[in-house]
Amino acid sequence: MLHYMLSTLRPSPSSARRRHAPDFHFCRLFAGDAHALALARHQHYLCALLGLRPGMRVLNVGSGAGDAALELVRYADVEVVGVDADAEKVQYATRCAREAGMSSRASFVHADLEDLSSKLPAESFDAIFAIESLKAAPSFESIYTPLSRLLKPGGKIGVVDWCWTPSFSPSDPDHCRLAEALELAAHLPPRAPSARTMASARAALEDSGLAVRHCEDLGARADKIAWYAPLEGALADGASPWLGNARPSAFGGLSRDAATVVVQAAKFQLFTPMAVFVAQKGA
């Protein structure tokens, strides 16, 4: 079964012709899942938590190749603006939207996280979502505050982020060494160990003037298949593609070293890439 799951992550001959590999995110897994189905279910869950309604204007931060944005347009009948720091991915997503006949409801903007406030008008979105795209921010505060300015009063932000779980102790030297190893291997900006915890993420949302409506670690659910099982299987498979190999990485931008640390931290229940937060701006 695990071999089947891994095979669904590798590019097929037809998808290999794409200029960009499909966007990868961690998500809950069930027996027989194709990753595309599991990922769509993951996105739909966040959509439901945001309470999206047809016609809403939604910002997708870190839109990548546009997969999540276009799925949201189809599923929720909303208008989506995607922003990404990779100009080539923005061009690719724009082309995909055009070819799908969705240009009127899905557009893409090239912008760094630091440029969002200058590139987009204040209070112009009914909702904002980001799936594993904020982990490279220097801090939770540095991104939540500008994002809150883009929300209309009453609007909601939904974030799926990389966090240390409540089991992580910033005072434990072994835990801190693991945090440093993850940042180094995954090329993340260094933060104090306590500055990437779920508790600090929640506090940063509240300090940004947002009321937290939902907080959950999807990775902690009692699923029969651990979310990191494909990573663990790929580490044991010498043929698996990783960042830096000739083939595209099957796991987004993860190198083998980063995957090793992720699995180690996950097995000790110290780390999750699926910390879900939904917060609302006051009316």
Q: Strand, helix or coil at 12?
A: coil
Q: Give the domain ranges of the chain.
A: 2-7+26-50+112-281
Q: Is 124 exposed, middle or buried (0-12, 13-18, 19+ CB in 10 A)?
A: middle
Predicted model pTM: 0.88
CATH architecture of 2-7+26-50+112-281: 3-Layer(aba) Sandwich (3.40)
Interatomic CA distance for residues 160 and 4, integer angstroms: 26
> Each residue's pLDDT tens digit in the chain (283 positions)?
333 333 334 333 333 334 556 678 899 999 988 888 898 999 999 999 999 999 999 999 999 999 999 999 999 999 999 999 999 999 999 999 999 999 999 999 999 888 888 889 999 999 999 999 999 999 999 999 999 999 999 999 999 999 999 999 999 999 999 999 999 999 999 999 999 999 999 999 999 999 999 999 999 999 999 999 988 988 887 666 665 554 445 677 788 889 999 999 999 999 999 999 999 999 6
- Count Cα neighbours of 34 within 13 Å in the Cβ-side half-sphere: 7
